[in-house]
Structure 1
Amino acid sequence: MKTDIETVPGPSTTHPRAALEVLRAFLMLGLTSFGGPVAHIGYFRREFVERRRWLDDASFIDLVGLCQFLPGPASSQVGFSLGLQRAGWLGGIAAWCGFTLPSVLLLLAFAVVAPHLGGPVGDGVLHGLKLVAVAVVAQAVWDMARRLCPDTRRAGIALAAMTVLALTTTQFAQLIVIVLGAGLGVLLLRSGHAMAAPPLPLPLPARFRISRTASAVAMILFCALLAGLPFVRHLTDERAVAIFDGFYRSGALVFGGGHVVLPLLQAQTVATGWLSNGDFLAGYGAAQAVPGPLFTFATYLGWLSGSPAHPWLGAVLATVGIFLPGLLLVVAALPHWQALRERASTAAMLAGVNAAVVGILASALYSPVWTSAVHSAADFAVAAIAFMLLTRWKAPPLAVVALCAVAGAAGLA
């Protein structure tokens, strides 16, 4: 009997057909995933773990843990990895394009019409979209905590991660917490009494796996661009090279993604005189209001930073530049991560990492998601209604987004 739940592709799945499936799935997410990187993880889990069942919860959270380790936009890296493992290289590209291009096009449009936007209605819609993020992240934290912190030891690791994040202001805080979770997992969970052995990743066709050669090439290319672009920029003094170098460096050196990249982007664009601080902040507000990855803010900045004759070139170079390093690092790391996860001796470490990621998501639920969105009792009511619609009535995310946006525009939140 046919169902609407899809399964992991078998050897008979054709590469182009699987890639089209990935493109459709991620295009819908690219059009509806509001709320920033933490909310995107919640959307991904709902779509690919619960509905489509492309992988199980443990495999998904392991992938999230890997991407939290790496510099770059974590949600885009997770999406790229899901597409890569589902349908090979075409699947990875399809996932990135489907999830990213809607936001890119919307921010390009905003760069053109920005002088004509604003007012209380626009501000209200933006505020309503922030309340969507509260509901989505709360749902993700609740579901993941029940599955990945079922005992006191793993709950304690999650609480320790939350505490470290609350007391630490360094941009490397998430990386520190992941390492802490791995260490505590080895110390507290290795006996096997506090945990069951985690399931192995769902089987993947061999032709869809990344080779060690591809991994090495990706790492070499990442390092070569990071070290070589400044020299090329100095030698040529071309604005196009400077844009690509600046945005590549921002994407390569930021841990945690999302809001953490903003100081780097401001230094690359405002401090260099490419655009004003007012234009920068206006674009940042627009990036909050559109679905998809926050790193597409670079598209808007690149358009304004490029030459007046060819602003589209600046937008393309900035977009590719900021995403490329994170994707290269995923390709470089995935083969080794898969091999590591298949060893039974790493079960305790991965369980600790899983619990730490729950702590990271819970910390993000408070700041910046809750603190930037909930300012009144009405805000709390709208967020609570959205949460119940998602968790108890299983309402479509797009309907919840529309409800919150309307509530914000109407001044109810």
Structure 2
Amino acid sequence: MRSSTETISEIGGRSRGTAGEVFLVFLKLGLTSFGGPIAHLGYFRNELVIRRKWIDESGYADLVALCQFLPGPASSQAGFALGLLRGGPLGALAAWAAFTLPSALLLVIFAMSATAFSGPIGEGLLHGLKIVAVAVVAQAVWGMARSLTPDRERVSIALAAVLTVVFLSSAIGQIAAIALGAVAGLLLCRNGQSSSAGNLSFRVPRWVGVLSLIAFFTLLALLPFVASATGSQGLLLFDAFFRSGALVFGGGHVVLPLLQAEVVNSGWVSADAFLAGYGATQAMPGPLFTFAAYLGAVMGPAPNGAVGAVIALIAVFLPGFLLVIGALPFWDDFRRRPRAQAAMRGANAAVVGILGAALYSPVWTSAILRPHDFALALTGFVLLTVWKAPPWTVVIAVGMAGIGLAFF
């Protein structure tokens, strides 16, 4: 029988570093990685593949393919796995904490101080942040549509997803759209380019992978019933964010409609507070999923504040990490199957439709109230897409412009 030390070493692959080392490296990344998930993956490659050589190019490419295939925040999942490789289970936790906490803490501070804003300056700033959300989501829809819906079959799947979400305006609508997209992909998207073969260097035992997958599906299936039966607001909060994190395909921006359905439609968070927080999130380094910390803090019913932020933050990240651990032992075999690749093409096209529907409601309808708002949102979109301006600079510029508009 193997010792526990050997098992831990096996889970992490070749653990040549310490959790402390991993924490310091990812803290630097968490403080400086602006620009969203794709940019984060570029920062990781420069720091961990080229400079520190924690993993080679082919292994990193396979890891990125896995994290983009699975639901959840791709950059955070990749960081979690790289921490696992370098420092074992403690290294994985250190990587997540260091990459996530800077932006999460800043957003909690913003949530707790946002209620102090009053008068034209405060109202103008909050409205400017909502306008920023229009530009950022429009950029995400534009970029994802170009890469994920390159043919008429996938454009049609995206349109069907819009119709599904519009007529089923709840979290069920998003789930149904993704499921129908996967089925349509099996039927219509079999001729796409296949993923290249590769071999991940993570030695995760199959029993660990199986336990992680069991935990994921058990929580996803049972949490709604347990939360409803007990009436515990803490469990309802955990369930809402766990389910949102479990169903996000395509990057951090896609969590917007899922969280909106969970917290705004339920009355836990106002639409204005939701969009103001989403706008503020664009100015932060690190993962977009830290938006959950803001929502947990600004929540109406208790637990809220710091406790709500912690619950929401853990819940929204946990499913993605369970899936990464669960998939590592089986990924090489699964990714070579044409049917699996076809289903994911359809699901990714459906994601474009879901995000497109969210661009209209609640983002556009809550922020664009007059021609000046439209002009400002269009300016932000051009700065992001044409001039390639860093998102945080656009957030600051449009936020200040929002204050200016408040006086006119």
Please report the TM-score for the alignment, with normalisation by the length of structure 1. 0.68
| Distance (whole Å) between structure 2 residues aligned to residue 123 and residue 58 of structure 1 | 46
Matches within 5 A, 1:146-185: 146-185=146-185
The CA deviation string for residues 274-318 of structure 1, in whole angstroms up to 9 with x for no partner, is xxx9xx8897576445425332145426898479xxx86x45763
How much does 1:403 deviate? 0.8
- The answer to whether structure 1 residue 99 and structure 2 residue 61 are counterparts is no
Q: Find 1:249's aligned residue among 239, 242, 247.
A: 239
Q: Answer whether contact 1:106 1:290 (CA < 8 A) is retained.
A: yes
Q: Find 1:300's aligned residue among 270, 289, 297.
A: 297
What letter is aligned with 2:327?
Answer: L
Aligned to 2:5: none
After superposition, the Cα gap between the structure-2 partners of 1:214 and 1:104, relative to the gap in structure 1 and judged at 3 Å, is: farther
Q: Find 2:74's aligned residue among 62, 68, 78.
A: 78
After superposition, the Cα gap between the structure-2 partners of 1:387 and 1:135, relative to the gap in structure 1 and judged at 3 Å, is: same
Q: Secondary structure at the match of 1:393?
A: coil
The CA deviation string for residues 308-333 of structure 1, in whole angstroms up to 9 with x for no partner, is xxx86x45763466446535643465
Aligned to 1:45: 38
Aligned to 1:343: 337
How much does 1:174 deviate? 1.7
Aligned to 1:258: 259
Q: Answer whether contact 2:272 2:366 (CA < 8 A) is retained.
A: no
- The answer to whether structure 1 residue 380 and structure 2 residue 374 are counterparts is yes
- The answer to whether structure 1 residue 66 and structure 2 residue 59 are counterparts is no
How much does 1:406 deviate? 0.8
| Distance (whole Å) between structure 1 residues aligned to residue 207 and residue 196 of structure 2 | 27
Q: Answer whether contact 2:125 2:399 (CA < 8 A) is retained.
A: yes
Question: Between the two proteins, what is the percent identity of the paired residues?
Answer: 29
- Which residues of structure 1 form unaligned runs of 5+? 1-9, 34-42, 68-73, 268-276
| Distance (whole Å) between structure 2 residues aligned to residue 398 and residue 321 of structure 1 | 25
Q: Secondary structure at the match of 1:340?
A: helix
Corresponding residue pairs, total: 356
| Distance (whole Å) between structure 2 residues aligned to residue 387 and residue 224 of structure 1 | 39
| Distance (whole Å) between structure 1 residues aligned to residue 309 and residue 142 of structure 2 | 38
Q: Answer whether contact 1:382 1:404 (CA < 8 A) is retained.
A: yes
| Distance (whole Å) between structure 2 residues aligned to residue 141 and residue 13 of structure 1 | 40
What letter is aligned with 1:296?
Answer: A
How much does 1:405 deviate? 0.8
Q: Find 2:351's aligned residue among 351, 357, 364.
A: 357
The CA deviation string for residues 135-179 of structure 1, in whole angstroms up to 9 with x for no partner, is 222222222222222222222222222222222223122221111
Aligned to 1:40: none
Q: Find 1:404's aligned residue among 385, 398, 403.
A: 398
Q: Answer whether contact 1:251 1:323 (CA < 8 A) is retained.
A: yes
What letter is aligned with 2:263?
Answer: L
Aligned to 1:128: 128
After superposition, the Cα gap between the structure-2 partners of 1:360 and 1:302, relative to the gap in structure 1 and judged at 3 Å, is: closer
Matches within 5 A, 1:19-30: 20-29=24-33
Q: Answer whether contact 2:133 2:275 (CA < 8 A) is retained.
A: no
Q: Answer whether contact 1:23 1:95 (CA < 8 A) is retained.
A: no
Q: Answer whether contact 2:182 2:344 (CA < 8 A) is retained.
A: yes
Q: Answer whether contact 1:19 1:91 (CA < 8 A) is retained.
A: no
Q: Find 2:83's aligned residue among 68, 80, 87.
A: 87
| Distance (whole Å) between structure 2 residues aligned to residue 141 and residue 325 of structure 1 | 26
Q: Answer whether contact 1:182 1:352 (CA < 8 A) is retained.
A: yes
Q: Answer whether contact 2:117 2:123 (CA < 8 A) is retained.
A: no
After superposition, the Cα gap between the structure-2 partners of 1:224 and 1:51, relative to the gap in structure 1 and judged at 3 Å, is: closer
What letter is aligned with 2:168?
Answer: T
| Distance (whole Å) between structure 2 residues aligned to residue 185 and residue 361 of structure 1 | 18
After superposition, the Cα gap between the structure-2 partners of 1:156 and 1:375, relative to the gap in structure 1 and judged at 3 Å, is: same
| Distance (whole Å) between structure 2 residues aligned to residue 405 and residue 136 of structure 1 | 13
| Distance (whole Å) between structure 1 residues aligned to residue 299 and residue 133 of structure 2 | 27
What letter is aligned with 2:347?
Answer: V
How much does 1:229 deviate? 12
After superposition, the Cα gap between the structure-2 partners of 1:303 and 1:81, relative to the gap in structure 1 and judged at 3 Å, is: same
What letter is aligned with 1:126?
Answer: L
Please report the TM-score for the alignment, with normalisation by the length of structure 2. 0.69
After superposition, the Cα gap between the structure-2 partners of 1:116 and 1:376, relative to the gap in structure 1 and judged at 3 Å, is: closer
Aligned to 1:326: 319
After superposition, the Cα gap between the structure-2 partners of 1:123 and 1:204, relative to the gap in structure 1 and judged at 3 Å, is: farther
Q: Secondary structure at the match of 1:206?
A: coil
Q: Answer whether contact 2:297 2:309 (CA < 8 A) is retained.
A: no
Q: Answer whether contact 1:244 1:321 (CA < 8 A) is retained.
A: no
After superposition, the Cα gap between the structure-2 partners of 1:104 and 1:218, relative to the gap in structure 1 and judged at 3 Å, is: farther
Q: Answer whether contact 1:245 1:321 (CA < 8 A) is retained.
A: no
| Distance (whole Å) between structure 2 residues aligned to residue 58 and residue 331 of structure 1 | 13
After superposition, the Cα gap between the structure-2 partners of 1:402 and 1:250, relative to the gap in structure 1 and judged at 3 Å, is: same
What letter is aligned with 1:218?
Answer: S
After superposition, the Cα gap between the structure-2 partners of 1:324 and 1:362, relative to the gap in structure 1 and judged at 3 Å, is: closer
